[in-house]
Structure 1
Amino acid sequence: MDGEAPRVLVVGATGELGTHAVHGLLARGAQPAVAGRDTARLDALAIRTGCPAFPIDAYDLDGCARAAPRAAAALGGLDGVLVAVGVPAFGSADSVPDAVAEHLMTVNALCPMAVLRGAVPVVRDGGFLAAITGAIVETPLMGTADYAAAKSALSVWLGVVSREVRRRGVDVVDARLPHMDTGFTTRAIAGSPPRLPAGADPATEMAALLDRLLRHLASARR
């Protein structure tokens, strides 16, 4: 990396995947900034790691869009953004309340889109914009119509943005990680999850994703 530490914003940093990402970046010599909804956990993470921290709320889309510019100001620039926010809900399409469907779309699609939309002008050429969508995009299960729709909306959006920023060498990553053993499904805001296979190890999956993202940065700087 030519001796310069990669500067990366992790959004959803207080969740399990986000926390793995922050510690993984630090272990790889990067300089993370962290953002999340749970202010107490965010403050504790910032104290433990020394990372700049910014509270965000998924329903404040303007605030989400400001996260990357704030991180760039705090870090002296921004090489990449990783969005690891998400919330599940389950149930047949006719049983999911409209309020739940709205929440799923806001947290899983509109919030990540706003964060990355705000990041496009500030992330450096040759940087990356990444969001975790998940295998649900490729193989939606019964009882996940609204959850899968929100993640799929984000996936389509990322695909278009990838083409829009290609000339700048920015890598837009639709991270379709497998089902992982994070307890994520137990935190569903509605319904019960369908039968799922054994979950993959989140630390291993996140390590592989970080290695991919940082290899892109290293390659772009050669």
Structure 2
Amino acid sequence: MDVRGAVVLVTGASSGIGAAAALKLHEAGARLVLHGRDGDRLNALAERTGAVAVRADFAEPGAGQAVAEEVIARAGAVDVLVNNAGMGWAGPVSEMPAAEVQRLLSVNLTAPLQLTRTLLPALLDRPRAAVVFVTSIAGRAGVAGESVYSATKAGVDVFAESLRLELAATGVHVGVVVPGVVDTAFFARRNRPYLRSSPKPVPAERVAQAVLEAVTAERAEQYVPRWMRWPIAVRGAAPSVYRALSARFGGSG
């Protein structure tokens, strides 16, 4: 798919992976619609890229559908949807406030499902279109101290796979980008900084490149970094070996 001139909605574009993906898509010639919570950062990026800015908090009930309707009203059409917005929380699940559980479910799972469902008719009307989900290695391997976050990302992962099968005979491509540890403000906002010495965080720009390739090369699945696919392969082929190594690949970060 050629993104030159295509209308691309990127959620969570105020910072981190979303902002990097927006810049990468802008460089490739896309016409951007950017969603985010931080109005100042969002407007600054929109001014830099000539984008339409849609400020909303996905934790609010019905926010995903509301954003979709606003995007259609203001942009008229959507060719690509990049579901990137997300948040984390780290710590024992027994100590997690109930409000934070609901917030993670709303932002990470409910909103992208609502957004995708509402925009799907518009995407199906285009000759070629794409939906890209930025998930997490935590949704495939599980991470101690991030059980709710992992569950939300696993939910998005299975939704994406099911949607790919559902849309196989259409012009809508579904891609998934599975990052490991990324050098963004995510960890500062999740209640606990990243303290492990390995794996090293990768730049957000590497994930942004994978997002672009998910659209232009119509890639179904990409791990960033690529070696992250091997622990998941071991888990499927040799679960006992995987569990023996889980302290390294599934421990708290």
User: If the length of structure 2 is used for normalisation, what is the TM-score?
Assistant: 0.77
Unaligned runs of 5+ in 2: 220-253
Report if aligned partners of 2:109, 2:152 keep a CA contact under 8 Å in 1. Answer: yes
Mapped to 1, the partners of 2:58 and 2:161 lie a distance apart of 22
Larger radius of gyration: 2
Residue 67 of structure 2: aligned partner:
67
- CA offset digits 1:51-87 (Å, max 9, x no partner): 1111122133434224334334444422110021111
Report if aligned partners of 1:185, 1:193 keep a CA contact under 8 Å in 2. Answer: yes
Q: Does 1:103 align with 2:79?
A: no
Residue 202 of structure 1: aligned partner:
204
Stretches (4+) displaced over 6 A: none
Residue 220 of structure 1: aligned partner:
none
SS in 2 for 1:158: helix
Residue 162 of structure 1: aligned partner:
164
User: If the length of structure 1 is used for normalisation, what is the TM-score?
Assistant: 0.87
Residue 10 of structure 2: aligned partner:
10
Bigger CA drift: 32-41 or 74-83?
74-83
Q: Does 1:28 align with 2:28?
A: yes
Report if aligned partners of 1:68, 1:81 keep a CA contact under 8 Å in 2. Answer: no
Q: What's the offset of the Cα at 1:8?
A: 0.6
Greater relative contact order (Cα < 8 A, sep 6+):
1
Residue 143 of structure 1: aligned partner:
145
Correspondent of 1:183 among 176, 182, 185:
185
Q: Does 1:114 align with 2:114?
A: yes
Unaligned runs of 5+ in 1: 218-222
Mapped to 2, the partners of 1:96 and 1:7 lie a distance apart of 39
- CA offset digits 1:114-159 (Å, max 9, x no partner): 1111111111253111121111112212111111011111212222
- Equivalent residue letter for 2:135: T
Count of equivalent residues: 216
- Equivalent residue letter for 1:144: E
**Distance change (3 Å), C-alpha of 1:18 and 1:42:** same
